[in-house]
Amino acid sequence: MKTLLSCEFNLDTVCVELRYTDGSMISIDCTAVENEIADNLYQRSELDYLIYNDPLAYADLILNGEAENYLKLVTEYKSLD
The pTM score is: 0.86
Helix or strand (DSSP H, E) at 51? helix 41-53
The answer on pLDDT for 1 being more than 80 is: no
pLDDT band per the 50, 70, 90 thresholds, residue 63: very high
Note the pLDDT tens digit of each residue in 6-50: 999 999 999 999 999 999 999 999 999 999 999 888 899 999 999
List the end-to-end C-alpha distance of the chain, in Å, as a whole number: 53
* Coil/strand/helix, residue 28: strand
The answer on pLDDT for 78 being more than 90 is: no
